[in-house]
Structure 1
Amino acid sequence: MISKKLINTKILNRKENSILTSTNVFNYIKTKHSWHLVDPSPWPIIAALAAFTMTSGGVFYMHNYINGGNLLTLGFFMLLYVMFTWWRDIIREATFEDQHTFQVQRGLRLGMILFIVSEIMFFFAFFWAFFHSSLSPVFNIGGVWPPSAITIIPTSGIPLTNTFFLLSSGATVTWAHHSIIVRAKKQSLIALLCTLILAILFTCLQGLEYVEAPFTITDSVYGSCFYMTTGFHGFHVFIGTCFLFISFLRIVYNHFTSTHHFGFEAAAWYWHFVDVVWLFLFLAVYWWGGLS
């Protein structure tokens, strides 16, 4: 009898231990933590293929290969599609799945800061080329800056107007940010709409300036530096405008709260970066670079 009881007791203990062990494993799998383990996604590899297709198509198009332009167009639209779907998934993770905890947002902020630093280095190269050419003009352009054959764009015209528009947009985007913090949805929408209008006006005037400019990108190093610097800045303004427009839509759909709105914060940081770059560009390229 004793042996049977001992055997039954051991069997029961084993069953309980196995149940506890399986429960512990289950609890371990379901453990909540502060970090976001990203689900498997097809978009990185598709984005890489789209970028490869677009760049290859661009090279083929520039060398007049048959269907090079079609390959370039295919890669471009593939990239747009991946951007839409990938960012859609990120918005879903942040807004509906509550995956972007405080620690995750800290990592995203650090990533955005490093991205803006890399953009600063990108523009630093163009400013370096501009100052290298203007502080020590070579004999090929007459030894003077700006080159004697170049008719410069008046600083007090479109450049000064664009400076007013862009700096004003920096103020309105800050207004929108503070409105989100204090939960004033209507004020944030009005402020962000003003920012978008100012950004579109800036882009339109920049395009008008290019149409009426008395020189082209092929007119000596002055034309190259001018169009490369202002052109890439205009491209960044376009990207920032799209960034702010998506934030505007997300405010309309109540995706942001007073404490969880990093998507808008990233757009605002990027827009302030665009403002600061333009301020340096206006002072260096338009005003100082245009002094004869």
Structure 2
Amino acid sequence: MSSKHAAPYYFVPGPSRWPMLAGISLLVTMIGASGWVNSATWAPAVCLAGIAATLVVLYFWFGDAIGESESGMYGKRIDLSYRWSMSWFIFSEVMFFGAFFGALFYARAVTMPWLADLDHKILWPDFAPQWGNTGPAGLVDNFNTMGPFPIPTINTALLLLSGVTLTISHHALRAGHRGKTAFWLAATIFLGAIFMGFQVYEYMHAYQDLNLKMTSGIYGSTFFMLTGFHGFHVTMGAIMLSVILYRVLKGHFTPDNHFGFEGAAWYWHFVDVVWLGLYVVVYWL
């Protein structure tokens, strides 16, 4: 959001078809997804069509909001509304990752010692409570765990550096240096792309060399769920920043009014913080 004029009222948008179309496209997506997991032949096409329709709706819906902002319809109250909305959205993301971190903690700190105590030695006498085991019944194929070197450590440095470049870009925007803003914002997106490239390589290494898969017991499922969803969030954050970069190049935002930039920056910094937790808990402990 970046209004060029301070509207003295609380803007109320007119009737819009986008919420209804978004609901329909999401319904089609979920119908296709439910059929896909049940091996229905028609389902993949329906699911992909629903996703494509959702993206089209979001493109035009966000375009309307950007047009309203740039035409000066938004004032301080709308700015505050957007800030609270983004704050609650990020809080929901905290709870999302908190659930997976909680599952990891429960498996390591509660379940494994419980399965290895004296009461269960009769059932599973050979079970050892070290993290990365093949399960109490030994039904999981042998695999190697993922260590912190070198790729996870490189990715940590990349994300920390991207947080610095994004902060420099933000300060440049506040100072009115649009060229510097665009340069450092593009650098942030580039660092995010390198991060994702390394993560793809890490997954290939896990499958081919370590035999580490989603089916590798609780270790494999928590590893791929946490790192995979984080990678998805990095991708979404990079897309958000790419849209912001396009808007910067189009002349949007002012030094005093640029919440679109700030909201995307909040999200990116949140992704950085989540990765630091992943780096310590998943790769080191």
Report the TM range for the smaller structure's normalisation.
0.7 to 0.9
Cα deviation digits, residues 27-57 of structure 1 (max 9, x gap): xxxxx74211011110000000000000101
- Could you say which residue in structure 2 is the equivalent of 1:74? 49
Alignment of 1:20-99 (within 5 A): 33-96=8-71, 98-99=72-73
Aligned partners of 2:165 and 2:256: how far apart in 1? 20
Q: Is the 8 A contact 2:8 2:75 kept in 1?
A: no
Which residue of 263, 266, 286 maps to 2:263? 266
Question: Matched residue of 1:66: which SS?
Answer: coil
Which residue of 240, 254, 273 maps to 1:276? 273
- Could you say which residue in structure 1 is the equivalent of 2:203? 210
- Could you say which residue in structure 1 is the equivalent of 2:78? 104
Aligned partners of 2:229 and 2:187: how far apart in 1? 23
Cα deviation digits, residues 207-253 of structure 1 (max 9, x gap): 11001112001100000000000000000000000000000000001
Question: Are 1:130 and 2:94 counterparts?
Answer: no
Which residue of 159, 162, 167 maps to 2:155? 162
Runs of 4+ in 1 over 3 A off after TM superposition: 138-142
Question: Matched residue of 1:204: which SS?
Answer: helix
- Could you say which residue in structure 2 is the equivalent of 1:5? none
In the TM superposition, residue 198 of structure 1 has moved relative to its aligned partner by: 0.3
Aligned partners of 1:100 and 1:147: how far apart in 2? 56
Alignment of 1:193-208 (within 5 A): 193-208=186-201
Q: Is the 8 A contact 1:166 1:275 kept in 2?
A: yes
Aligned partners of 1:199 and 1:66: how far apart in 2? 36
Question: Are 1:142 and 2:128 counterparts?
Answer: yes
Aligned partners of 1:185 and 1:82: how far apart in 2? 30
In the TM superposition, residue 100 of structure 1 has moved relative to its aligned partner by: 1.7
In the TM superposition, residue 78 of structure 1 has moved relative to its aligned partner by: 0.5
Which residue of 245, 266, 278 maps to 1:248? 245
In the TM superposition, residue 102 of structure 1 has moved relative to its aligned partner by: 1.0
Which residue of 181, 189, 208 maps to 2:182? 189
Question: Are 1:221 and 2:196 counterparts?
Answer: no
Question: Matched residue of 1:48: which SS?
Answer: helix
Aligned CA-pair RMSD? 1.3
Structure 2-normalised TM-score? 0.87
- Could you say which residue in structure 2 is the equivalent of 1:152? 145
Aligned partners of 1:281 and 1:78: how far apart in 2? 33
Q: Percent identity?
A: 35
Question: Are 1:285 and 2:282 counterparts?
Answer: yes
Q: Is the 8 A contact 1:51 1:75 kept in 2?
A: yes
Q: Which amino acid aligns with 2:238?
A: T
Aligned partners of 1:241 and 1:69: how far apart in 2? 26
Q: Which amino acid aligns with 1:200?
A: A
- Could you say which residue in structure 2 is the equivalent of 1:173? 166
In the TM superposition, residue 275 of structure 1 has moved relative to its aligned partner by: 0.3
Aligned partners of 2:201 and 2:73: how far apart in 1? 45
Q: Is the 8 A contact 1:54 1:76 kept in 2?
A: yes
- Larger Rg computed on CA atoms: 1
Q: Is the 8 A contact 1:34 1:104 kept in 2?
A: no
Question: Matched residue of 2:147: which SS?
Answer: coil
In the TM superposition, residue 66 of structure 1 has moved relative to its aligned partner by: 3.4
Aligned partners of 1:40 and 1:204: how far apart in 2? 42
- Could you say which residue in structure 1 is the equivalent of 2:119? none
The alignment of Structure 1 onto Structure 2 pairs a total of residues equal to 256
Q: Which moved more, 1:33-42 or 1:256-265?
A: 33-42
- Could you say which residue in structure 2 is the equivalent of 1:26? none
Q: Is the 8 A contact 1:134 1:146 kept in 2?
A: no
Aligned partners of 2:35 and 2:283: how far apart in 1? 36
